[in-house]
Amino acid sequence: LKRQFNQEEPEKSMLTDITYLFYGKGKKAYLSCVKDSATREILAYHVSSSLRMDIVYQTLDNLKERLGEVIHPEALLHSDQGIHYTHPEFQKRVREMGIRQSMSRRGNCLDNAPMESFFGHMKDELDYKDCQTFESLELNIKDYMEEYNYNRYQWTLKKMAPIEYRNHLLSA
């Protein structure tokens, strides 16, 4: 991807990563997301209480459901070089979806900066630390994702929300 994040074509260049969320009294959950680099839309996500490989497999399943049968012919999924993304089974599943995989240079978080930035803003804005149950955390995240995708107006998207901007690009 070489930090060419703004592709101006929805679903062509996607970013993925995992972050941790501490909630309740000493509880920890993990959030895996796929973000469209052109529209900033969160295309798929999965919340898990574990970092087992299933977190990324479920995220890929959600992405597959979201994208449907028509995958952009130049679709690319960019990640860091974490164990989840270098795992042969993950790479196989990405290939089977018709998506090419791209990875950051080792130890260079700037190569996936938009994903890191999203997680930072989300953690600042989302009131997740007071959630006492995993289910309430999941619901809180679901509400945030919907609000972000449909109502979060962004300067870099011509002051549109991600889904509104996607529709704008597709109609142009």
Measured distance CA(152)–CA(100) in Å, rounded: 29
Q: Is residue 63 part of a domain?
A: yes
pLDDT for 1:
47
Residues 72, 26: Cα–Cα separation, whole Å? 42
**Given a cut of 70, is residue 5 above it in pLDDT?**
no
For residue 146, give both structure tokens: 């919907």
Flag whether 6 is in a domain.
no
In angstroms, rounded to a whole number, what is the distance separating the alpha carbons of residues 77 and 102?
6
Per residue in 25-68, pLDDT (tens digit) is 999 999 999 999 999 999 999 999 999 999 999 999 999 999 99
pLDDT of residue 108: 58
Containing domain of residue 107, as a range? Answer: 13-171
Which secondary-structure segment (H or E) carries 171? helix 162-171
| pLDDT the model gives residue 98 | 97
Into how many domains does the chain fold? Answer: 1
Rounded CA-CA distance 103/117 in Å is 17
> Which CATH number do you get for residue 165?
3.30.420.10
Give per-residue pLDDT as tens, 78-106.
999 999 999 999 999 999 999 999 998 76
Query: The pTM is what?
Result: 0.93
